[in-house]
Structure 1
């Protein structure tokens, strides 16, 4: 699948924003730690991905009711759903001048009901003219997402027979419909009710 940028300029995918607050001291602290053992952009991107995937539990897996949505908040609380974890990874990448954005899938139950928008990350390493998707959601039995820029190793492969979709757009900021749900939820159960079923 060919990914397309929502914003034409690459600078949009390095910018600081309300959710992607990569100038925040908490984000900078994590960036500094990760960069110690990463001497290339690839090594850093992989380390950032694995940090978000493995050390910030997906709140549905851990049972944490808290809702986070700013990158600094996700890193401080060490919890979040896929959208929050994706925002955190985008911030960690942008902080090291690696263009990164948000992309999405529409997933559904095994009978095609209960559609849900799932958040992913797209990045472009220096020298690469193409966006590559990674999924920092967090692994568990049945899910094995990996940092792979050759062939995608996402948490889920979309199933057309269940009306699942890979959205091709790379967003520089979270879509308002996602942000509104994250900002407005008092807890994860309320967030589940308000997340969109499609973009």
Structure 2
């Protein structure tokens, strides 16, 4: 379980800006469940997905997503994991392979979401935001997924739980200066 509480370069929760946000969230939370929900809602609603708002900035880790107030799902998941781990709540990252379009004509992209260990079980939560095709509520009782993979288009739910952002994604972020340079046909 220690690896799901550890700080990493991508999940840099000892950064002072993250610690400030942790304290702010803790101060208004009644318990761990409330803290998880508030952290989730903060990342979902206050840190928009870069693609959705059309900004070119590439946040490369949790603290940059908070500083830039935007990130793609990879770094939004790092930020949520950082907020949770900083409060001693185990968290990880899970992946899905999703199409870029309504079908597989434009290829696939890796989507990242979070895992959280709460009351003796792992739950997956996705702070990406609901979209026009999905409207699900936050839950600590069952997996909360924005996207339901469609096997007919080669989409996959890996059902995994990783202690850190995948090194291939870290490498892509490290080499990328523009959101629009991120490869759009990624697969694991």
The bucket for the TM-score relative to the shorter chain is: over 0.9
Q: What are the equivalent positions in structure 2 for 1:144-155 lying under 5 Å apart? A: 144-155=135-146
The aligned residue for residue 110 of structure 1 is 102
Instruction: Name the CA shift for 1:44/1:55 in 2 (closer, same or farther; >3 Å).
Output: same
Q: Is this contact kept in 2: 1:144–1:154, CA < 8 A?
A: no
Instruction: Give the match's secondary structure for 1:124.
Output: strand
Counterpart selection for 1:35 from 11, 26, 33: 26
* Deviating 4+ runs (over 6 angstroms): none
Q: Does 1:142 align with 2:159?
A: no
Q: Is this contact kept in 1: 2:92–2:116, CA < 8 A?
A: yes
- With the length of structure 2 as denominator, give the TM-score of the two structures: 0.93
- Return the alpha-carbon distance in structure 2 between the equivalents of residues 91 and 117 of structure 1: 20
Q: Deviations over 1:7-44 (max 9, x none)?
A: xxx00000011111101100000001111121211100
Deviation of the 1:183 alpha carbon: 1.2
The aligned residue for residue 53 of structure 1 is 44
Q: Does 1:132 align with 2:138?
A: no
Q: What are the equivalent positions in structure 2 for 1:87-98 lying under 5 Å apart? A: 87-98=78-89
The aligned residue for residue 13 of structure 1 is 4
Q: Which moved more, 1:145-154 or 1:110-119?
A: 145-154
Unaligned runs of 5+ in 2: none
The aligned residue for residue 24 of structure 1 is 15
- Return the alpha-carbon distance in structure 1 between the equivalents of residues 24 and 135 of structure 2: 25
Q: Does 1:180 align with 2:175?
A: no
The aligned residue for residue 186 of structure 2 is 197
Instruction: Name the CA shift for 1:92/1:57 in 2 (closer, same or farther; >3 Å).
Output: same
Q: Deviations over 1:143-195 (max 9, x none)?
A: 4353212333321111111111111221111111111111111110001x2x5
- With the length of structure 1 as denominator, give the TM-score of the two structures: 0.88
Deviation of the 1:196 alpha carbon: 5.7
The aligned residue for residue 6 of structure 1 is none
